A = this chain, B = another copy of it.
Amino acid sequence: MSTSATIQPVTRWLSAEEQRAWLAWLGATELLMGSLDAQLQRDAGFPHAYYAILAQLSHAPDRTLRMSDLAGVVNASPSRLSHAVGKLEERGWVTRSPSTCDKRSTMCTLTDAGFDVLAEQAPGHVEAVRKHLFDALTPEQVGQLEQICNAVLDGLDPSGSCRR
Contact = CB atoms under 8 A, between A and B. Distances in A.
Interface in A1-33: 11-14, 17-18, 20-33
A14 B130 contact: yes
Contact of A32 (B24, B126, B152): B152
A26 B162 contact: yes
Secondary structure at the A interface, as helix, strand, loop or mixed, is helix
- Interface-central residue, A11, A30, A134, A148, by most chain B CB under 10 Å: A148
A142 interface: yes
A149 interface: yes
A99 interface: no
Interface string A24-66: 1111111111110000000000000000100000000000000
B142 A155 contact: no
A150 interface: yes
A153 B27 contact: yes
A109 to B, nearest CB: 22
Contacts of A31: 75, 152-153, 156-157
Contacts of A129: 14, 22
